[in-house]
Amino acid sequence: MHQEDPVVKTARREALAALALWILAMTYTVGYCYLYGYRLPPDEIRLIVGVPDWVLWGIVAPWTVCTLAAAAFARFLSDADLGQELDDAGDDLFGEKESRDE
Amino acid sequence: MSESSSGAGSLVALLVFVVASVWLGAVAQRIVKRGSFLRGYFLGNRGLGAWALALTATVQSGGTFMGFPSLVYSHGWSLTLWIASYMMVPITGFAMIGKRLAQLSRRTGAITLPDLFRERFASPALGVLTLILVLFFMCFMMVAQFKAGAIVMKVAWPGSGALTLDEAAGDLDYYYYLGLTIFALTVVGYTAIGGFLAAVWTDLFQSVMMLVGVMILLPLVVGAAGGLEQGSRIAVEQTGPGFLSPAGYSADGRTFLPLGLAFSFFFVWVYAGMGSPAGMVRVMASKNSATIRKSIVLLAVYNMLIYLPLIVICICGRAVIPDLAKTDEIIPRLALHTTSSLPGGSLLAGLILTAPFGAVMATVSSYLVVIASGLVRDLYQRFLHPDASLAQIKRMTYAAMILVGVVAFVANLRPVAYLQALVVFSGSGGAAAFVVPAAMAAYWRRATAAGAFAAMAGGACTILGLYVTGFLSADPGIGQATVFRPYFLLGLDPILWGLLVSLVAGIVVSWLTAPPTPELVSRMFDAPPAAGECLVQA
């Protein structure tokens, strides 16, 4: 019967996409740091220009990708009319009061 | 180079900063006067642009500049993994529930978070529970921030012993109280004058200053350490090889970040950002959906420029100032230390010092607004005095802010240790309480008021229970060294258990209770009648 607002549908889809990206980023970063950071004895960790290699490939690299992904994601999001303010709604306690006072 | 001249320059810069914030508060007040008082004062008439939304809506607490650097200094490169989920915060923080939150708050006319839940589920009880939880978690955060503000002021003060590394005198001296007083008066003052917009604008101004501070400090500290390579090596010599490991170095042999906690922090920052009441209110205040999209990009770039350089700064800081007893002071001390020999260095130090001070002021002012809006709109206006006049409401608003300021001031006469532990506690609490109910409100037609209530209460009680248990039980030897630590069930942070309990409770209780009325669901989810025609055209 009902006609669901298209904003709800796209927002739901975008939320799932964001959730999927988050799971992906988490799996990669925690996975990489486990394999190349946690499993090594600390004195075997290599430094690349002063940065431990697990930081460079496990964190700096995906962080860069995520920053680019954010730009792409922002383009993929759809714009939507968020609707009008309920100015005269009875449940806006204040709306009535203000007109009386001023 | 005398200590006092360094302090004087810093003090000048800090005072300029304070004056600028008060001026922004005054400008904001003029704009608030144009529209409805409550919506203007507490929500900026829903006119936030992309920059304001991006740089102020997610967690950027004083913790960023005080607690976090202190942890990097103490535990090393491990903090990159600890903070890594900030790479996802721009996307998750705005794209998961942002658009629907902005839409629902317009449909319901909600000004505050309690308003929103109350109207969305047509449940006054849910509104009250939201109010109680918002006040509870935000008060913890506020108290932590006041201490941070006082410390920055103290370090900048001439003659406070700012450059000495001997901490034997302790922090409860005359300068701490002076800093605390000035800080409290300023931030409560400008926030009370300008409300939400004052908080957001000073927050934006301060976020930009933070970036400038980090960018100036980065070359200075890396230079002082003789490059990152050497800085890293000296830091390892100062500490041990653990300084390079993801598990982290600890002077007392504890494991700072075991794998389970590393995994947990991917939940902590992502959902703490999303579930923060101050952040949610800002999304509600955003101008339109294009604003939300632009914010994602701006925040992504900003986060990358802030957090990774901060880590580099503090790693090198360990090499530059090796034996700092009060690690919370690392950034202010690095600023004073690295600029002391430069021409005009004192003003430069002041500029850098404004960054942490700004971060703390911004956080406090935004929480002040949320707490005061809760007290005035959701408690005073709803329950105590529904017929209050505009003048009474205004008076109550100012009184509420002053009251909160006084409470935070008094709580900091004997400050707590470890800002960051408090930040994590209230962040986790907010996340466990509000994320699942907000998602249910946004996307699930079958969600019921009882379900949302159960999700909120279940999540909050889980966090609280695990923190109380942790407080009473033996130190497990993982995480931060603090008495204010949670119980890590199965080695995971309470936020995972909180979110899980919240999710299960929300779904199960919703299914067990009668479905919401079709009218309510339709009002929240369906296209308004006029929009149907637009659809056909599209």
Q: Dump pLDDT digits (tens) for B489-516.
A: 888 889 999 999 999 999 999 999 999 9
CB contact under 8 A, A82 and B99: yes
CB contact under 8 A, A34 and B36: no
Element (H, E) at B395: helix B390-411
Task: Please tell me which of the candidates A26, A42, A80 has its beta carbon nearest to residue B241.
Answer: A42
Q: State the average pLDDT for chain B.
A: 81
Chain A residues 67-86 within an 8 A CB cutoff of chain B: 67, 69-71, 73-75, 77-86
CB contact under 8 A, A80 and B81: no
Q: At what angle do helices A93-101 and B390-411 cross, to 10 degrees?
A: 120
Amino acid B172: pLDDT: 60
Amino acid A97: pLDDT: 40
Report the pLDDT averaged over residues B324-350: 78
Amino acid B81: pLDDT: 93
Q: How confident is residue A98, by pLDDT bands cut at 50, 70 and 90?
A: very low
For tokens 């009251």, name the residue. Answer: B403
Dist CA B445 CA B438 (whole Å): 12
CB contact under 8 A, A82 and B299: no
Q: Tens digit of pLDDT for each residue in B407-455?
A: 878 877 776 666 667 777 888 898 999 999 999 999 999 999 999 999 9
pLDDT at residue B85 greater than cutoff 80: yes
Report angle CA B398, B124, B399 to the nearest 5 degrees.
10
- Dihedral angle computed from the Cα positions of residues B42, B46, B50 and B54, in that order, rounded to the nearest 10 degrees: 40
Residues of B in Cβ contact (< 8 Å) with A5:
103, 525-528, 531
Query: In this structure, how many other beta carbons lie within 10 angstroms of the beta carbon of residue A93?
Result: 18
CB contact under 8 A, B526 and A43: no
Write the single-letter amino acid at B358.
G
Amino acid B464: pLDDT: 92
Report the pLDDT averaged over residues B117-123: 92
CB contact under 8 A, B390 and A101: yes
Dist CA B432 CA B270 (whole Å): 12
Amino acid B4: pLDDT: 37
Q: Which residues contact A25 (CB under 8 A, 6 or more apart)?
A: A62, A66, B85, B87, B88, B266
Question: Of B221-225, B341-345, B427-431, B493-497, which gets the smallest average pLDDT?
Answer: B341-345
Report the pLDDT averaged over residues B526-532: 66
Dist CA B264 CA B490 (whole Å): 11
Residues of A in Cβ contact (< 8 Å) with B109:
85-87, 89, 91-92, 95
| A46 in contact with chain B, both atoms CB, cutoff 8 A | no
Amino acid B133: pLDDT: 92
Amino acid B109: pLDDT: 85
Higher per-residue confidence, B485 vs B467: B467
CA distance from start to end of chain B: 70
CA distance from start to end of chain A: 44
Closest Cα in chain A to B531: A5
Closest Cα in chain B to A25: B88
Dist CA B356 CA B319 (whole Å): 21
CB contact under 8 A, B88 and A25: yes
Report the pLDDT averaged over residues B195-200: 83
Amino acid B452: pLDDT: 95
Report the pLDDT averaged over residues B225-235: 87
| A52 in contact with chain B, both atoms CB, cutoff 8 A | yes
For tokens 């939320």, name the residue. Answer: A15
Closest Cα in chain B to A102: B390
Dist CA B106 CA B29 (whole Å): 23
Dist CA B281 CA B13 (whole Å): 31
Query: In this structure, how many other beta carbons lie within 10 angstroms of the beta carbon of residue B167?
Result: 13
pLDDT above 90 covers a percentage of chain B that reads: 19
In total, the C-beta contacts within 8 angstroms joining chain A to chain B are 228
Amino acid B531: pLDDT: 46
Residues of B in Cβ contact (< 8 Å) with A46:
none
Task: Please tell me which of the candidates B96, B231, B294 has its beta carbon nearest to residue A18.
Answer: B96
Q: Output phi, psi for A4, to 5 deg.
A: -65, 135
Residue A96 distance to chain B (closest CA, Å): 10
CB contact under 8 A, B381 and A93: yes
Residue B355: strand, helix, or coil:
helix
Dist CA B432 CA B442 (whole Å): 16
Task: Please tell me which of the candidates A43, A54, A80 has its beta carbon nearest to residue B241.
Answer: A43
For tokens 């000073």, name the residue. Answer: B202
Question: Of B166-170, B196-200, B483-487, which gets the smallest average pLDDT?
Answer: B166-170
Amino acid B163: pLDDT: 41
CB contact under 8 A, B103 and A30: no
Task: Kindly provide the b/e burial profile for residues B131-150, where b requires at least 16 CB atoms within 10 angstroms of the residue's own CB.
Answer: bbbbbebbbbbbbbbbbbbb
Q: What is the DSSP string of B53-71?
A: HHHHSS---HHHHTHHHHH
Question: Of B153-157, B259-263, B312-316, B434-438, which gets the smallest average pLDDT?
Answer: B153-157
Task: Please tell me which of the candidates B227, B382, B521 has its beta carbon nearest to residue A50.
Answer: B227
Q: How confident is residue A47, by pLDDT bands cut at 50, 70 and 90?
A: confident
Residue ranges of alpha helices (H) inside B247-375 are: 259-275, 277-284, 289-320, 330-339, 345-373
Q: Please, are residues B429 and B460 in contact by the beta-carbon 8 Å criterion? A: yes
